[in-house]
Structure 1
Amino acid sequence: MKKVITRIIALSVLAISLQEFNAQKLVVNREVETTADGKMLLGHQLKDQFTKEPYADWYQKEFNEYALDQKAVSELRKDKFNSYNLIVFMGTWCEDSHRDFPRLMKILDELKYPDSRLTIIAVNRKKESPTGDEVKYNIQKVPTIIVEKYGKEIGRIIEMPTTGYIERDLVEILKKDDRSVIKEIFKKEN
């Protein structure tokens, strides 16, 4: 009888612990004040945060002035880029992020990319976020744009696009994909 009662108590404690764990919500649009950099975004963000002050100054300027490579955008559309997931690590204190993040958002806007497939994570100067996602993705520099398919990374752009255009680098990443993800899935099943 004692074993049964002990098991019931243990299961009850486990169930309560799981409920508490599941109840923890992901904090979105966190903003912190720092002595060195003033206001900065930290952690998971929604894209509308960047249209607010003090971020709107650099964000809107770059978003509005960037001229898209329409040929590359057409390639992305043809290659069904909207079916891929994007994880973007950036810093609101970082000049490279000030340049490339708004450009990426303009590309995604042009493609009508679904917000549900986009994860934006703002990091501090040490490249850290409250959830520790930077460790999972081995983030060393920002911005880092990671392209995933079926939960597997197929490519990333680190700090600056190698072609000079984010959309061209994304086209190159999709060319490399070449169904290798599907091959990988079938390999695991055998």
Structure 2
Amino acid sequence: MKKFITNLVAVSGLFLATQQLSAQKVVVNREVNTEKDGKMLLGHQLKEQFLKAPYADWYVKEHDEYALDQKAISELKKERLGSYDIIVFMGTWCEDSHRDIPRLMKILEEVGFPESKLTIIAVNRKKESPTGDESLYNVQKVPTIILKRYGKEAGRIIEMPTTGYIERDMVEILKKNDSSVIKDIFK
């Protein structure tokens, strides 16, 4: 029994050491200056970063003027959007991101979406981030809004919502039959 406990402690120690070595430090709210685009956000961002200059110029206006589709908002609440994770790839240089990211944030605020389940990753014009997350999700265009549940992608909105409204596209994703996701989990 003593040998078993010693081995268990040793294996646990090795596992924790491996985890520490493989853990990648993620810099949050990185801002860079570029010759062509001036200030640009790059990598993982918090929502508050968009309330600072120069991003607030486009963010606040679009956020405040956007009229939510209340029927779709009710559906998002009913379908429990908060049980999903949302990963957003965007560019502070991108006009589509200027339009859709403030709208998305307003939608998420309205439904009470937990900020801890939202990941915002800003990319450069080559659609690259410092941590390479875009390659994990095969991001080709921005903005890309990915909804995940149980670790599996449930759907995504690429560049522009197909219905013209992000909240309507999100409702369509949530209402999709995701029994295939559940089957994958229990294989």
Alignment TM-score, normalising by the size of structure 2: 0.88
Instruction: Please say if residues 142 and 158 of structure 1, whose CA atoms lie closer than 8 Å, have aligned partners that are also in contact.
Output: yes
Identity of aligned residues (%): 75
Deviation of 1:181 after TM superposition, in Å, equals 1.4
Q: Please, which runs of 5 or more residues in structure 1 have no aligned partner?
A: 1-13
Q: Distance in 2 between matches of 1:72 and 1:86?
A: 17
Q: Distance in 2 between matches of 1:135 and 1:178?
A: 24
Q: Distance in 1 between matches of 2:87 and 2:18?
A: 30
1:70 matches 2:77: no
Instruction: Please say if residues 60 and 102 of structure 1, whose CA atoms lie closer than 8 Å, have aligned partners that are also in contact.
Output: yes
AA at the equivalent of 2:125 = R
SS of match in other structure, 1:93: coil
In structure 1, what is the equivalent of residue 8 of structure 2? none
In structure 1, what is the equivalent of residue 7 of structure 2? none
In structure 2, what is the equivalent of residue 58 of structure 1? 58
Instruction: Please say if residues 146 and 157 of structure 1, whose CA atoms lie closer than 8 Å, have aligned partners that are also in contact.
Output: yes
1:173 matches 2:176: no
Instruction: Please say if residues 43 and 122 of structure 1, whose CA atoms lie closer than 8 Å, have aligned partners that are also in contact.
Output: yes
In structure 2, what is the equivalent of residue 119 of structure 1? 119
Q: Distance in 1 between matches of 2:81 and 2:22?
A: 34
In structure 2, what is the equivalent of residue 140 of structure 1? 140
In structure 1, what is the equivalent of residue 107 of structure 2? 107
Instruction: Please say if residues 40 and 93 of structure 2, whose CA atoms lie closer than 8 Å, have aligned partners that are also in contact.
Output: yes
Q: Distance in 2 between matches of 1:18 and 1:79?
A: 36
Residues 9-20 of structure 1 mapped to structure 2, 5 A cutoff: 19-20=20-21
Q: Cα deviations across residues 144-187 of structure 1 (Å, max 9, x unaligned)?
A: 0000001100100000000000000000001114433112212x
Instruction: Please say if residues 85 and 148 of structure 2, whose CA atoms lie closer than 8 Å, have aligned partners that are also in contact.
Output: yes
Q: Distance in 2 between matches of 1:168 and 1:17?
A: 43
Q: Distance in 2 between matches of 1:37 and 1:120?
A: 20
1:35 matches 2:47: no
Q: Distance in 2 between matches of 1:44 and 1:143?
A: 14
SS of match in other structure, 2:171: helix
Q: Distance in 2 between matches of 1:98 and 1:177?
A: 31
Question: Paired residues, what number?
Answer: 175
Q: Please, which runs of 5 or more residues in structure 2 have no aligned partner?
A: 1-14
Q: Cα deviations across residues 92-136 of structure 1 (Å, max 9, x unaligned)?
A: 000000000000000000011001100000000000000000100
Change (3 A) 1:178 1:52: same
Instruction: Please say if residues 154 and 178 of structure 2, whose CA atoms lie closer than 8 Å, have aligned partners that are also in contact.
Output: no
Q: Distance in 2 between matches of 1:84 and 1:15?
A: 28
Runs of 4+ in structure 1 deviating by more than 6 angstroms, as ranges, are: 14-17
